């Protein structure tokens, strides 16, 4: 709890009660979360506050946004070494078609993609869809 506060302060984010709780919530989850998930977890708080908390976290490199193709924006905590405020995140994401959960595979970096002459890559989004290890029966 206290560590979360100092962590947020390190990231130049004022550790309000709500922010600490949201951070804690995301840290305890191993999967990416949608705004609606947080909404359901904190029904007393307003959606706007939760939304802006995520945006603040994102701007300050605490979480990164994930577009897993479901049309619902997900967020996940950044790793220690992750500096996606500066450059893009290079790991791939997995979306399970069975349990509908999305996870960061931070160990799995996106391979270098060859492009035709004249094309300049600035960002890459790689999402694999299928069955996760929980759903495949390990």
Partner DNA sequence: CCAATAAATGCACTTCCATTGCACTTTTTA
Partner DNA sequence: TAAAAAGTGCAATGGAAGTGCATTTATTGG
The residues binding Zn ion (CB under 5 A) are 96, 98-99, 132, 135
- Closest to DNA by CB, 70 vs 108, is 70
| Residue 104 touches Mn ion, criterion: CB under 5 A | yes
Owner of token pair 């060859």: 114
Across 66-78, b (16+ Cβ under 10 Å) vs e yields: bebeeeeebbbbb
Contact range with a second copy by CB under 8 A, out of 22-30, 48-56, 78-86, 127-135: 127-135
In contact, 22 and 75? CB cutoff 8 Å? no
Contact range with a second copy by CB under 8 A, out of 2-10, 12-20, 53-61, 104-112: 104-112
List 12, 69, 99, 100, residue binding a second copy (CB under 8 A): 69
CB of 135 to Zn ion, least distance (A): 3
User: Of DNA, Zn ion, a second copy, none, which one does residue 99 interact with (CB within 5 to 8 Å by kind)?
Assistant: Zn ion
Of 69, 83, 80, 26, residue with least CA distance to 50: 26
- H or E element that contains 65: strand 63-66
């Amino acid at each position: 709890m206290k560590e979360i506060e100092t962590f947020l302060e390190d990231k130049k984010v004022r550790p309000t009660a709500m922010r600490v709780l949201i951070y804690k919530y995301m840290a305890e989850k191993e999967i990416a979360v949608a705004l609606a998930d947080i909404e359901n977890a904190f029904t007393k708080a307003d959606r706007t506050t939760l939304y802006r908390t995520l945006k603040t976290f994102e701007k300050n490199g605490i979480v990164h946004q994930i577009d897993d193709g479901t049309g619902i924006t997900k967020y996940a905590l950044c790793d220690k070494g992750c500096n996606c405020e500066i450059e893009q995140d290079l790991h791939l994401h997995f979306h399970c078609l069975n349990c509908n959960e999305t996870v960061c595979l931070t160990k799995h970096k996106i391979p270098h993609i060859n492009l035709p002459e004249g094309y300049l890559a600035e960002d890459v989004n790689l999402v694999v869809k299928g069955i996760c290890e929980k759903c495949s029966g390990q």
